[in-house]
Structure 1
């Protein structure tokens, strides 16, 4: 991949990470009633139920949901000059940070990693790469506006954009397969 694409991947990664930190900090003073049972003990079930209810278990639901996110990250950036991509990366990071903090609060980081890691190895890079795609076209337009290149969008730029989108779709497809099978079995064993 080109050097500029690597920069965009770094920016996407950074935004997802910053969003995760924001999610953790937003969660500091937040404890839901479902988290603490009637005996005053912390309960891990809300985390499992939030992430793995019956509706969210099928491959098609998971894939279509994540495909929407990837397409919004990729093409939303083109339509809003990177604004939707920026916002979506931050919001997805916030969700991840909240899940992490909930697990930390519940004293069960093992459950967090068992429920996120198997499919997250593919899903998170897929979203980061989709974010890089969403920043690609605005970045190239900005370079043109600053007279750092002669054409607004070259054929090579378009190919790079669609390559990034394709890679992210393949990654979330693999992630959906893993989430609907392996992660599901792990979640069932934790109940």
Structure 2
């Protein structure tokens, strides 16, 4: 295969993904807005209602510490389950929106709790320390969740078109392309979830511990 042919194929694949993002930019924007609005609301709730968040956070940390098998596979399995739920929830679009909102709210609530000066097991945690255990894998995991949710919303449009078809209403028949776009977005999300799982299982704890050490020695 010539270099020119290889370059053309690479460019073609790039254009395919570029087209997917372009055609679904409104749904990606919608998913992003829902997530970060929920995160913002969570920060407010966590900051002004620390006792409630602290109660749930203690239970969460105890459940987490009791898990023996925290590996790349277990993390990926957990995340991919959430991604597929967000996607399948697109059959009834409100389910995808609800799952996305809950994830954003929980992260925001924990962040707001630590901004208020919250603690885990009676040890005060700096927001910077908390984020150091979230950001390394979160920069892949959060976009993956947003992508899976956008795929779910794309699936919602397919369902709406099918309902309109059954009701005899005219619509543009491009359901096949929409469905392919939803699968493409989900596939990209799966890749991002895989990268996030590798980072969370193998690097996040070390990075967080390092930053925690720097914070303690200030």
1:71 aligns with 84
Normalised by the length of structure 2, the TM-score is 0.71
Residue 181 of structure 2 is aligned to residue 160 of structure 1:
yes
Aligned to 2:108: 97
| 2:71 aligned residue | 58
Cα 1:178/1:50, change in 2 over 3 Å: farther
Q: How does 1:138-153 map to 2 (within 5 A)?
A: 138-142=156-160, 145=164, 147-151=170-174, 153=175
Q: Using the TM superposition, name which of 19-28 and 162-171 deviates more.
A: 19-28
Shift in Å, 1:62: 1.3
* Alpha-carbon distance, 1:52 to partner: 5.7
Superimposed CA distance per residue, residues 54-99 of structure 1 (whole angstroms, 9 cap, x where no aligned partner): 5273222211111111000111212x2x121010010001111112
Comparing 140-149 with 12-21, greater Cα deviation is found at 140-149
- Of structures 1 and 2, the one with the larger relative CO (CA 8 A, separation 6+) is 1
Number of residues paired by the alignment? Answer: 178
- The residue that corresponds to 1:28 in the other structure is 47
**Which residue pairs with 1:10 in the alignment?**
29
Shift in CA distance, 127/175, structure 1 to aligned 2, threshold 3 Å: same
* Structure 2: 5+ residue stretches without partners: 1-19, 118-124, 214-218
Higher Cα Rg, which structure? 2
**Aligned-residue CA RMSD in angstroms?**
2.9
Q: Distance in 2 between matches of 1:34 and 1:119?
A: 23
How far apart, in 2, do the equivalents of 1:121 and 1:147 lie? 41
Name structure 1 gaps, 5 residues minimum. 36-44
Q: Any conservation in 2 of the 1:57–1:184 contact (CA below 8 Å)?
A: no
In the alignment, is the contact (CA less than 8 A) between 2:47 and 2:116 conserved in 1? Answer: no
Summarize the alignment of residues 130-141 of structure 1 with structure 2, pairs less than 5 Å apart: 130-141=148-159
**Higher helix fraction (1 or 2):** 2
